[in-house]
A and B are shown apart, each in its own frame.
Chain A
Amino acid sequence: MNPDDLVVTGIGVVSPRGCDPAALDLDGTAPADDSWFDATAELGARGYKYVPPAGRYLLAATRRAVADAGDPLAGVPEGERGMALGTNSGIAALIDAMDATITDAGAERLSPATAPYFSINTLAGRVAMDHGVKGWNLTLTSPRTAGMETLLAGARAVAAGRSAVLLAGSTEAPLPVHHPGHALSEAGAAVLFLEPRAAAAARGATPYGTCRTATFFLTTAERTVHEALARLVEDAGAPDGTTLPARLICDPCPAGTALAGHLRRLGVPADIVPPGAGTLLPFLHLTRGLARPGPPHLVAAASSDGACALTLVQPLPTPRPRASEQEPR
């Protein structure tokens, strides 16, 4: 095991599917309104009035992840903190409401203090202000896969020396009510805190495990897919003859069908899970996978436009804390 490898030492989730990462109910649909979220309990009574729902979810999930990791940021200079966020519909309803205002009463009736949030990167930007994330901050928006991609982009940035630690997550808020995809809306946020294995060990933190992501584009790329998959499956170190469990989040689209076929040919039969509108469901699956001790497994996602991502989740084989030298968390 490489001491530079990133391990997950904190998990934060706020979601209508639950807030305990190990006990998330990821079957079926979840309520697409805001009633499940207690902003005051999560964030306090004030300071976030102008922040749109996806931003509040992200702030709450980040607080939870940092607390769960044992408040490690005090030991990390601000310039060494990096953050990558995946989101698709985080501000879709806000944009729609702003557009309704502009085309009707005019832009002068927009709330000036809310106006910055027309730019989707302000969701993570607001979190950076609260947690002193000055190393770097990325917002990725690739359809469906962007949450998983934060783990790849974040690990790459840390490996390039751009920060020492990583906050990686996904946040979504419901699509506008009149959008044809509204019923598939997602709401909530999940954030992971990651640090090098050696750093976690040095401060006595018990990792949940690791996750590694690869991306590719289907259906154009037979060889790339095969290479990426083979590398991850090999890294999982599953003994010969055992099956690596996999969960694939996709529509019955050509890319999803092709990805399922590739997995099958590599001896990885995938459970196919219907997707939500955005990036959150795949991220919740890998979050729950990390929080539950067990064997390595794959979480895969394909978007109907062809982008695919695959994350190898390697949780602890047995429940934490596992070693007597670990300090209580």
Chain B
Amino acid sequence: MDVGMITKAILILGGVGFILGAVLAIASRIFHVEVDLKVEFIRGVLPGANCGACGYPGCDGLAEAIAKGEALPSACVAGGTEVAKQVAAVMGIEVKEPKVAKKALVRCGGGKGEVSHRYVYDGELDCQMAQQVSRGPSLCSYGCLGLGSCVVACPFGAIIMGEDELPHINWKKCRGCGVCVDACPRGIIALVPENQEIHVLCRSHDKGKAVRSVCKKGCIGCKACEKVCEFDAVHIVDNLAVIDHEKCTNCKKCLEKCPTGCISNLIITHHLHK
């Protein structure tokens, strides 16, 4: 190797690099742009799960929108009151106590032993896949498939699969972002007000006899709850009991009357199931 050539190459490349570096350094001074520190701070406060429940592209998008004033400090659904307060503190404004937080609820009681199957599904553990094989292994075409797509989807690790092959949502971890709602191919999971205790844990619109034949826990549309309710809060719509959360006072009378036990007290079904 020619030493002169090597020196020449080093000098040329070094010289070019030095000049370009100097130009860039000067340019960064001349073309300096103020970055909004608020965005950085707000981004630090947000949960950072990028669940998208706020409607913005990830936590970065929301942080920018809040800093610009396009979104409210309480816009983060997953963060709830705590994050809203912290964001408001960064923005220097007071935040009103937001309305009751929403939590995800699995509206199906047809776990292991309760519901019959028409075939044994031995494929990939994914509800969407199972649903595509003759519309799912379970005889109830409305109930939980029990393969845990919601468990995988949850960005906060709040859902675990119970021994009864139903997903259980830990409401202490659930932030109500609604990702699991979209993950369920049968639309079983819904966001419900946190302070609502009584729920119908069935989605079957089949007639009573058909429900009885496939599931022990399903709503048979017997209207017992409708008759016992003093507040006109429960109605049978298309063979399924529906509770109006505005009118329900959590008096639990329907709970006692329900013959199949598909109306459930959340304190029992969820909070103890951890």
> Do chains A and B stick together as partners?
no
B residues in contact (CB < 8 Å) with A: none
